[in-house]
Amino acid sequence: MSVTIPFYFYLPDKFDASHGFSGKTNAWACSLFIHVGLYGTAIAYTVTSAISMRAIQKSNCYHREGHEAACEYSDTYYMLIFGAVQLILSQAPDFHNIQSLSVIAAVMSFAYSFIGFGLGVAKVIGNGFVMGSFSGVSTTTSIEKMWLVAQALGDIAFAYPYSLVLIEIQDTLKSPPPANQTMKKASTMSIITTTIFYLFCGGFGYAAFGDNTPGNLLTGFGFYEPYWLIDLANAFIVIHLVGGYQVYSQPIFAHFEKWICEENGFLNNEFYHCL
């Protein structure tokens, strides 16, 4: 019998993809911005995961000691834990091998979104009235209002980062039908679904707290009880971001592996060994 040991990379190079229709200069610029976005997303996921893990610890502290207790903890160790987990998961050879991780991350996303939405609805019902106003958070100056609007637009832009890895996702689809057609349908459905969740969670969160709405309903401690449900939602966030980090980091890994080992025959050829 023979054993085939393939060493190659499935992921398309963003530079090659953009060079084909926009020229070398534009391709370099496009590749630069995309990779900066991927790096930024990975950093944001690391920080957010650490904040959610710290929120679990704080939630349990508030439950034991009371809501006025000085429950302050560092998130440094949580970042190190998250990094250690990613170091292990990063050994996956390519984008194809993290399919199950991506599915788990999607399920976790739906789970904590439903929890956040449910807590917001419950808070509005408990208040007996809707807080806030149609004009949004009240400010003293127009400059401050413009700054808050700019922050909101930035949050909205960051809420749809999947376009950074659209090429890699499309490359994993089987044909027929053509991958670009399948990707277009999937993108449309996912954007509509995601936007609906964002509107419900953000809308009911603002209706529940008004101008005092925390930046993150699950880690900003607008809600203290039921603490176990908040802990569960934050655990779902961490699991989601563990998978999400890999989705956005695998293209970076592939890019540097191809760049560093481009001339390495051992990594880029197939070897046959008869047993």
Higher-confidence residue of 201 and 96: namely 201
Token pair for 212:
């005092």
Which is higher by pLDDT, 99 or 238?
238
Q: Please report the pLDDT score of residue 74 as a whole number.
A: 85
Lowest mean pLDDT among 34-38, 40-44, 198-202: 34-38
Give the helix, strand, coil percentages of the chain, each rounded to 5. Answer: 70, 5, 25
Residue 61: CA count within 13 A, CB half-sphere: 13
- Looking at the DSSP bridge assignments, the partners of residue 114 are none
Q: 72 CB contacts (<8 Å, ≥6 apart)?
A: 58
pLDDT-derived band at 171, boundaries 50, 70, 90: low
What average pLDDT does the structure give for the chain? 77
Cβ neighbors of 106 (< 8 A, separation 6 or more) are: 240
Query: Tens digit of pLDDT for each residue in 81-113?
Result: 999 998 888 877 665 666 777 788 778 888 888
Type of residue found at 205: G
Residue 209 has a CB neighbour count (10 Å cut-off) of 20
**Which pTM value belongs to this model?**
0.75
Distance CA 44, CA 245 (A): 9
